[in-house]
Every structure is written in structure tokens, then in C-alpha cells.
Amino acid sequence: MEKNKKNRLNIIERKTIGQTKPCIECGDINWSLDNNRGEVFCDSCGSVVENNVIDEGPEWTNYSDGQDKSRVGAPSTYLLADKGLNTAIDTKDLLSSSASRHGISGKNRRDWRRRAIIDQRSKTRDSKIRNLTKATKLIRDNSGLNGRLVEDAAFYYRKVEEKGLVVGRSIAGVAAACVYLAAREAKLPRSISELSESFEIKEKELKRIIRYATRMLGLHHITGPEEYLALYQSNLQLPPAVLEEANYIWSKIKILDYWQGKKPSGVAGALLYNAAKIRGNPRTQAEICKVADISEVTLRGLLKVLKLALKQVGEATEN
């Protein structure tokens, strides 16, 4: 009697682990599942009949430094207005073909579509959520950044939004300013003119917002010409030797006072122009000005200053 009862219980269990026949080794129906190894084996003789069994339970993932594994799912992200923690009613199974395949009637399909619309509207009713949704979309689509920098820009936007910077200003302008600051802090600066064109905002307004955001966030990193050299070298398709020469020139003259008040991107353009000529890969002034976003008059003035600086360093070295 007990054996029959045990066999009945095992029959119920074997349906969950995919076994319906007696063991070919001992003929008994006594299957067990080892969750750690992902194996199904006969509890009577130990014969393994399945391996790499899929675990259909929840994936307990710990994204913090502690021991708590109570949170399930992907980590939160600042690139979504709800940080990726919200749920949504998916409507892909409510299409006519999918619905009929899953046995959903036309009335139930309409009811679920209505529930999905109401659910979406309830999440975007708050003006703050709508603001963040538009801003994060602009940052993702128009920033040209990737990886951690996009996340940093979205984080900066949330901070300045909490401090009231967005009130009375365009969302696109504040988003562009946050992108500029995120790139600058990572020492991969973006030009203001490039961002103003990408986010469709005037340069003057963008510069003003950047100043306000910098004070609010306490970000006072000073950009140097060396941070633009690699970017300009890539845009001008110059060999690595030119970049090496430009960095060497800057290391010799950066201690001088000539560069106070000079635009770092313009100084980088002058350095690359001079280095390219020295290394036998010259570029025209027009090409340099287009990449560095300066006028040819400005570039020629910086080249004169560069010549004086090199002369002074050369005289000091000789003495």
C-alpha cells in the first residue's frame, strides 16, 4: 500500500521533470531532480537521465555589494523616467492572430487593450514624469554619447530638475547642458556649437544654462587643450605620430602664461596644425577651423602665440 502511494506521488512529480517511463537500469519509477546540478536521476539506482535542466524559477540577482538577494530583475537606470522599475501591459499577444491562437475572444481583447491604454495614461499623468520622459529621450537620441556617459547625463538632468533649473527653460536646453557637463567631466568634451545644433537650441542660451547647471551641480572641471587632441586627430584622420607630437609640444609650453583666457579647443587646433606640418601630414587652416569650430583669423592668432611660446621654451632650454 505504501509503495503504491509512493509511486503515485512520484508519477505526479515526474510530470514536472519530464519523465514518464520506468528507469531502464532498474525498472523503478522513482525520479528526483537535483536543482544545484540541473540533473534528473533515478533515486533507486542513481542513473542520470537528464542534465542541464532549465530552472524555471525566479533569477535572484544581487546588484549591490551586500548579501541581500531579495531584488529580482535588471538594475535601475536613469535613462528611463521610471528608472525601469515600472511594469507595462504588453499588447503584442492581443493581435487578432495571436489572440485567436491563445484562445482570447474579441471582447476580452478589446478589454485588455483598454486596460493597457488606461495603464499607460495613468503613468504619464504627472507633469514631472512627462518632463523626464521627454528629456531622457532627447539625451538618448541626440547626445551622441554611449555607455556610462549617457547615464551620467540623465543623472545630472534629474539633479538640476529637482533644484528647479528646468522651470522657465526649455527641456532640450537643459538636456544639452547636462550632456555637455557629463562629457566634460569624463574628459571627452563636446563642442557647444555641435550640441546646440543637435538639440536645436541657440548657442547663447545653451552657454547660459551650462553656467547655471555647473553652479547647481558643483562641477568645476576646467577643460584643457589636451582633452580635444585625440578627438580632432581622429576627425582629421591624422596618424598617431601627429597626436604624439602635439602632446609633446603642449607638455613643453603649457606652463607658460600665454594660454590664459584662450579657448582650449582653438589651442588644440593650433597644436594639431603645427604638429601635422612637422610630421609631414599637413592640413589646411580651413580643415582645422572646421573641426575646432574657430575662425581662420583666430587660428592664425593662436599660431603666432604658439610660435612665441616655442621660441621662449627653446631659449630657456638653451640657457
Q: Which fold has domain 127-217?
A: Cyclin A; domain 1 (1.10.472)
Residues contacting 215, CB < 8 A, separation 6+: none
Which has the closest alpha carbon to 176: 130, 145, 215?
Answer: 145
Tell me the pLDDT band of 194, cut-offs 50, 70 and 90: confident
The mean per-residue pLDDT over the stretch 158-174 comes to 90
Percentage of the chain modeled with pLDDT above 90: 29
The mean per-residue pLDDT over the stretch 284-310 comes to 91
Q: What are the residue ranges spanned by the domains of the chain?
A: 2-50, 78-125, 127-217, 226-313
Given this model, what pLDDT does residue 319 score? 34
Check pLDDT > 60 for residue 20.
yes
Q: Model's pTM, two decimal places?
A: 0.62
CA distance 299 to 295: 6
Check pLDDT > 90 for residue 116.
no
Question: Yes or no: is domain 226-313 CATH 1.10.472.10?
Answer: yes
Q: Which fold has domain 2-50?
A: N-terminal domain of TfIIb (2.20.25)
- Are 2-50 and 226-313 in the same CATH fold? no
Which has the closest alpha carbon to 80: 135, 160, 121?
Answer: 135
The amino acid sitting at 142 is N
CA distance 59 to 63: 12
The mean per-residue pLDDT over the stretch 56-82 comes to 63
Residues forming a β-bridge with 32? 41
Tell me the pLDDT band of 177, cut-offs 50, 70 and 90: very high
